[in-house]
C-alpha cells in the first residue's frame, strides 16, 4: 500500500478498491488487495456499528464434525459434512467477519441438504477464533493475514485432491475470499458465489478464474455499493469471466439472521439463487 496515504472513516469503499488495484504487488499474493480493503473497513466506526452483536445461537443435531487440515504454517480447522457416499465434489464455505460460528454451520447444512452428493467444508480463516462483539470481529478481520489465509485455502485444496470439483460460497469477508479461493483452485473450481464481498479489482488476476461467478449484492449497501458492483461487472467482462449479478433492495449483511438488517424474504430468494447456481456446477 502507498505509505503516504492514510485511511480514515471518511474514505469511501471505492477509494479503498482503487488503492488495492493500483498497487500491483498487492495483488501478487492471493487476495492481498481485497484483504487490505477489508482491514481498512474494520477501522470504520460506521461500518462496525452497522453490525449488531449476534444473538447467542447453538446449532442442534450437528451433521458434521470439526477436522484438522495440514497447511503451511500450521494445521487449520474446518467444519466438514461428508456426503453419504464417497464423492469428489465439494463446496467450500467461507464465514463472515465474526468467524466460523454456528450460524455459518447452519448455512452449510442447508447447502448440504440441497446439494445431493456434495461434501461441504467450512474453512476457518481465523484459526479457531470467533468474535461475539463488534470490536472483537473488527480486531479479527484486521489481524487476518492474507498469506495465512492463502495457506489455509491451499491446504484445503490439497486435502480434497486433484480429482475434486469444488464450488465456493461466502458472505462479506468470506464472499471476497470465496472469489479468491476460486481463483486459487484453478481447474478444480466449479461455481463461485460471492455475497456482498470485496471483488478482485486486478483484471489480470481475475482473468485466471476458470469458473462462472454469481454475485449477490444489496442496493442499500454503503460499502460494497453500486459503484463497486459496476466496476466488478466491467472488470469481469474485460477478464472474460461470466459474471451474473443479482441485486436486492436490502442492506449490507441482509442474509445474516443475526444482523438487525436481516431481510428474510431477500435472504430466502438469494439462497435459492445461490443453491440453483451451485447445482448447475456440482450436481451430476
User: Cβ distance 140 to 131 under 8 Å?
Assistant: yes
How confident is the model at residue 261, as a pLDDT? Answer: 74
How confident is the model at residue 257, as a pLDDT? Answer: 82
How confident is the model at residue 153, as a pLDDT? Answer: 98
Work out the burial of residue 226: count CB atoms within 10 Å of its CB; fewer than 13 is exposed, 13-18 middle, 19 or more buried.
middle
- Collapsing DSSP to helix, strand or coil, 63 comes out as coil
Q: What is the 3-state secondary structure (H, E, C) of the chain?
A: CCCCCCCCCCCCHHHHHHHHHHCHHHHHCCCHHHHHHHHHHHCCHHHHHCCCCCCCCCCCCCCCEEEEECCCCCCEEEEEECCCCCCCEEEEEECCCCCCCHHHHHHHHHHHHHCCCCEEEEECCCCCCCCCCHHHHHHHHHHCCHHHHHHHHHHHHHHHCCCCEEEEEEECHHHHHHHHHHHHHHHHEEEEEEECCCCCCCHHHHCCCCCCEEEEEECCCCCCCHHHHHHHHHHHHHHCCCEEEEEECCCCCCCCCCCCCCCHHHHHHHHHHHHHHHHHHHCC
Class of domain 13-282: alpha beta
Show pLDDT as tens, one digit a residue, over the chain (284 residues): 443 333 333 233 333 333 333 333 223 334 445 667 766 776 666 666 566 666 676 777 788 999 999 999 999 999 999 999 999 999 999 999 999 999 999 999 999 999 999 999 999 999 999 999 989 999 999 899 999 999 999 999 999 999 999 999 999 999 999 999 999 999 999 999 999 999 999 999 999 999 999 999 999 999 899 999 999 999 999 999 999 999 999 998 899 887 777 899 999 999 999 999 999 999 86
What cell numbers appear for 210 in the block? 476458470
Neighbours of 256 (CB within 10 A): 24
Query: pTM for the complete prediction?
Result: 0.85
- Helices (H) and strands (E) counted in the chain, each on its own, are 11, 8
How confident is the model at residue 27, as a pLDDT? Answer: 31
d(CA 160, CA 158): 6
How confident is the model at residue 35, as a pLDDT? Answer: 63
- Collapsing DSSP to helix, strand or coil, 155 comes out as helix
How confident is the model at residue 83, as a pLDDT? Answer: 97
Neighbours of 212 (CB within 10 A): 18
Q: What is the 3-state secondary structure (H, E, C) of 180-225?
A: HHHHHHHHHEEEEEEECCCCCCCHHHHCCCCCCEEEEEECCCCCCC
d(CA 183, CA 6): 30
How confident is the model at residue 98, as a pLDDT? Answer: 93
Where in the chain are the domains?
13-282
How confident is the model at residue 61, as a pLDDT? Answer: 75
How confident is the model at residue 114, as a pLDDT? Answer: 96
Amino acid at each position: 500500500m502507498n505509505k503516504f496515504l492514510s485511511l480514515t472513516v471518511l474514505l469511501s469503499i471505492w477509494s479503498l478498491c482503487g488503492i488495492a488495484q493500483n498497487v500491483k504487488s498487492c495483488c501478487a499474493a492471493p487476495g492481498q488487495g481485497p484483504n487490505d480493503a477489508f482491514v481498512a473497513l474494520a477501522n470504520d466506526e460506521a461500518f462496525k456499528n452497522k453490525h449488531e452483536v449476534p444473538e447467542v445461537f447453538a446449532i442442534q443435531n450437528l451433521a458434521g464434525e470439526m477436522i484438522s487440515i495440514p497447511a503451511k504454517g500450521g494445521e487449520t480447522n474446518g467444519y466438514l459434512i461428508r456426503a453419504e457416499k464417497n464423492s469428489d465434489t465439494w463446496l467450500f464455505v467461507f464465514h463472515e467477519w465474526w468467524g466460523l460460528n454456528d450460524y455459518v454451520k447452519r448455512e452449510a447444512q442447508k447447502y448440504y441438504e440441497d446439494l445431493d452428493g456434495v461434501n461441504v467444508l467450512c474453512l476457518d480463516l481465523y484459526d479457531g477464533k470467533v468474535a461475539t462483539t463488534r470490536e472483537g470481529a473488527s480486531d479479527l478481520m484486521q489481524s487476518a493475514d492474507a498469506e495465512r489465509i492463502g495457506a489455509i485455502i491451499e491446504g484445503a485444496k490439497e486435502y480434497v485432491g486433484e480429482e475434486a470439483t469444488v464450488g465456493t460460497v461466502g458472505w462479506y469477508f468470506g464472499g471476497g475470499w470465496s472469489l479468491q479461493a476460486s481463483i486459487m483452485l484453478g481447474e478444480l473450481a466449479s461455481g463461485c458465489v460471492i455475497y456482498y464481498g470485496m471483488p478482485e479489482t486486478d483484471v489480470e488476476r481475475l482473468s485466471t478464474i476458470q469458473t462462472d461467478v454469481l454475485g449477490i449484492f444489496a442496493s442499500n449497501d454503503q460499502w460494497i455499493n453500486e459503484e463497486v458492483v459496476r466496476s466488478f461487472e466491467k472488470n469481469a467482462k474485460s477478464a472474460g469471466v461470466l459474471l451474473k449479478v443479482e441485486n436486492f433492495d436490502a442492506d449490507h449483511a441482509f442474509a445474516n439472521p443475526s444482523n438487525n438488517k436481516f431481510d428474510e424474504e431477500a435472504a430466502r430468494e438469494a439462497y435459492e439463487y445461490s443453491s440453483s447456481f451451485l447445482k448447475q456446477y456440482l450436481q451430476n
